[in-house]
């Protein structure tokens, strides 16, 4: 349960590289024919269950999420964030099994693990109260 | 948990196999371990409840909300932004319950926690620190806020936190019990968020009390994506006329 997916640990290609449109490596094998998540979405770190299978739909959108690890190197590089393109889109906040919401950053709330607060794993804009994004790259899949 | 109150196998939604989960809608159920895979949208929660955690500064409210911490992760997120609320799922008496848990840390001045938090809360966890008498002495003030703003049927749970600091204890267990006894329906327990002692139990106990009171079906779908409506209102001083009589407080 707590087993993280080693392969999910991104070898972080620089965010500047545009995602290949068709051959999306991140989502391969994770999306069902209806566009929903085939597998449960878990926290990479503690295995906390974020979404059950089928609770979200696959969506592409460029979103900037602050880096998960506060690496000195990353900070020095001045970035501190990644542009992520592949997400699980959730329409109802109560579709989440477990998730945390940060306080507002501008008109955005970031999503974090409800148990260990690893994150940000996702993004929510207060202007669109029916959209909650969870970045594929920031979570594990069961 | 409660005598005769329904083991998980009871047909909550259609003959579950594993812990209270199986419903006709076909949910893989349960946050625990299972690995069935379905393509249909999972079974929606049976109940959605809002719980708030209040108490004076430093009593450990936030710690009650998190299980453990690790400072290598998202320090920025933690200390500067902070978690506003959490959605957590528990299964109890064959029901799947989603809790929306609000931590009011950082707004401890009594007046700055706005009525919006209280109003929609079905459960209120009032925390003090067993090693700090002043946090216990503050309890009547918190009760005034509860009396003023909270729904009359909100379940109340008093928690004496920091049980791991027994040597520094200033408030005896009996004192806590006695305080809770004076208030109709208030439960009491001691806990240690640091050791995670009694923490999960706190939430389960509270949820159980709420469910026992609820006529089933009432609260389903009561809450929507209600972040906005639950945002702290801009500093409204709590001078609204009390919406309810003082039934609880001493």
| pLDDT band per the 50, 70, 90 thresholds, residue B194 | confident
Gap between the Cα atoms of A22 and A25, Å rounded:
9
Residue for token pair 């998980």:
B8
Token pair of B94, please? 């064959």
A-chain residues near B224 (CB < 8 A) = 92-93
Gap between the Cα atoms of B112 and B116, Å rounded:
11
**Contact indicator for B175, B204 with CB cutoff of 8 Å:** no
- Interchain contact B25–A (C-beta under 8 A): no
Nearest by CB: B225 against A70, A115, A130: A130
SS3 B193: coil
pLDDT for residue B69 is more than 70: no
> What is the model's pLDDT at position A96?
96
Q: Given the DSSP bridges, would you call strands B47-55 and B123-129 parallel, antiparallel or unpaired?
A: parallel
Domain parsing of chain B, residue ranges: 45-225
Q: Give the closest residue to B54 by CA, choosing from B156, B177, B134.
A: B156
Gap between the Cα atoms of B149 and B236, Å rounded:
12
Put simply, the answer to whether B38 touches A54 (Cβ < 8 Å) is: yes
| Rounded alpha-carbon distances, angstroms, from residue B47 to A65, B1, B222, B237 | 31, 18, 8, 32
> What is the model's pLDDT at position A92?
93
Reading phi first (left if > 0) and then psi (alpha if -120 to 50, else beta), residue B217 is in left
Number of Cβ within 10 Å of residue B189's Cβ equals 18
> What is the model's pLDDT at position A111?
95
Mean pLDDT calculated for residue range B98-106: 80
Gap between the Cα atoms of A114 and B87, Å rounded:
7
Put simply, the answer to whether A119 touches B85 (Cβ < 8 Å) is: no
User: Which neighbouring-strand residues pair with B103?
Assistant: B53
> What is the model's pLDDT at position A59?
96
B-chain residues near A101 (CB < 8 A) = 83-87, 227
- Interchain contact A4–B (C-beta under 8 A): no
What's phi and psi for B144, nearest 5 deg?
-60, -40
Nearest by CB: A109 against B39, B84, B89: B84
pLDDT for residue A113 is more than 60: yes
pLDDT in tens, A63-109: 999 988 655 444 445 557 899 999 999 999 999 999 999 888 899 99
A-chain residues near B82 (CB < 8 A) = 102-103
> What is the model's pLDDT at position B36?
47
Higher-pLDDT residue of A135, A67: A135
What's phi and psi for B84, nearest 5 deg?
-85, -50
Assembly ipTM: 0.77
Task: Provide CATH code, domain B45-225.
Answer: 3.40.50.300
Question: In Å, how far is B18's CA from the nearest CA of chain A?
Answer: 16
pLDDT in tens, B13-60: 333 333 333 333 333 333 444 444 444 567 777 888 899 888 888 887
Mutate to test the interface with B, among A80, A99, A117 (most CBs of B within 10 A): A117
- Interchain contact B239–A (C-beta under 8 A): no
pLDDT for residue B185 is more than 70: yes
- Taking the CA atoms of residue B149, residue B108, residue B106 and residue A100 in that order, the dihedral angle to the nearest 10 degrees is -40
């Amino acid at each position: 349960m707590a087993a993280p997916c080693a392969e999910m640990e991104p070898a972080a290609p620089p965010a500047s590289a545009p995602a290949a449109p068709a051959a999306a490596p991140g989502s391969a094998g994770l999306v069902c024919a209806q566009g929903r998540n085939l597998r449960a979405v878990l926290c990479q770190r503690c295995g906390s269950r974020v979404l059950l299978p089928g609770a979200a739909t696959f969506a592409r959108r460029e979103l900037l999420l602050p880096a998960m690890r506060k690496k000195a190197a990353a900070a020095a590089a001045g970035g501190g964030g990644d542009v992520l393109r592949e997400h699980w889109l959730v329409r109802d906040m109560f579709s989440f099994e477990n998730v945390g919401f940060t306080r507002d950053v501008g008109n955005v709330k970031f999503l974090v693990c409800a148990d260990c607060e690893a994150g940000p794993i996702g993004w929510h804009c207060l202007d669109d109260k029916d959209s909650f994004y969870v970045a594929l790259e920031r979570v594990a899949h069961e | 948990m409660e005598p005769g109150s329904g083991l998980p196998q009871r047909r909550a939604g259609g003959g579950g196999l594993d812990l209270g989960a199986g419903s006709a809608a076909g949910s893989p159920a349960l946050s625990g371990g299972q690995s069935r895979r379905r393509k249909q949208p999972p079974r929606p929660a049976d109940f959605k409840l809002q719980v708030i955690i209040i108490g004076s500064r430093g009593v450990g409210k936030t710690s009650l909300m998190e299980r453990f911490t690790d400072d290598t992760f998202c320090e920025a997120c933690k200390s500067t932004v902070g978690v506003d609320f959490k959605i957590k799922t528990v299964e109890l008496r064959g029901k799947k319950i989603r809790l929306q848990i609000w931590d009011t840390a950082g707004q401890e001045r009594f007046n700055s926690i706005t009525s919006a938090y209280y109003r929609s809360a079905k459960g209120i966890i009032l925390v003090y620190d067993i090693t700090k008498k002043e946090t216990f002495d503050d309890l009547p003030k918190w009760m005034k806020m509860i009396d003023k703003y909270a729904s009359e049927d909100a379940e109340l749970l008093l928690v004496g936190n920091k049980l791991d600091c027994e040597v520094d204890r200033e408030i005896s267990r009996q004192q806590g019990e006695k305080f809770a006894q004076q208030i109709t329906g208030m439960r009491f327990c001691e806990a240690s968020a640091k050791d995670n002692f009694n923490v999960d139990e706190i939430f389960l106990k509270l949820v159980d009390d709420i469910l026992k009171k609820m006529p089933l079906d009432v609260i389903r779908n009561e809450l929507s994506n209600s972040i906005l409506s639950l945002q702290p209102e801009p500093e409204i001083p709590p001078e609204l006329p009390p919406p309810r009589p003082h039934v609880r407080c001493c």
